[in-house]
Structure 1
């Protein structure tokens, strides 16, 4: 039951529309920004990315080179995995309700439709991820704390028959 007072419903609807527009903008970006600033009155949006490291100047020590992360083997295509449960938004994927807590699900967990299976954090909003069908988790496709895109596969699922 919606308990929002009648006078506040247009404002709530506008906030929902604004959230949807922000998610749409974020999903269209080539990579996650380091900063996103939104101004509600008179609209406005400011998206920034971390700058690339500046080249070393003559007479200065070059910036330390960090080792590249090892390249993981290519993940199987979603069609090879069977049904998948996907990210509801762009953001950072978390497997547990809080740091140090047990994950919502692991490989072998039997889930019901509507059961919470993870969280995506987007602009300080914690968006729950719910299973859209019943089944058994057969693979966790993204590591905890990693960026995800809208509709990106997070879990493989063997559906119950």
Structure 2
């Protein structure tokens, strides 16, 4: 069964999920943020079938999340490099990581933690902040059509 496209949805979450909504795509972006660039590196890290990886990488390139470049070592291979659009997904992955650490691990389980490269300290939890700096709870946020939000 063919998946329904959400590219025309007025909801930005739906449009985003239309592009990066499967777990392989986000895991590829995660690995690219960690410095992986080669097909074989992604395949080894993820344990994904080569045909599935080929499709996901092509989709990410077509959507402007990754771009293909000649290998930096001068070999005949191609590398997959995050674009600005792809690097911007880091915030999404940080949010997922922090949520996962908070809710999906038992106290005795060891997960992984995101740290600042310079001082090796864990990142602060992401916060939802109002324009005036107030921290917002989920019930203090609503989604409006763009015209309503800009005219307020």
Larger strand share, 1 or 2: 1
TM-score (normalised: structure 2): 0.22
- The structure whose RCO (Cα within 8 Å, separation 6+) is larger is 1
TM-score normalised per structure 1: 0.21
Q: Name the structure with the higher helix share.
A: 2
User: Rg: which structure is higher?
Assistant: 1
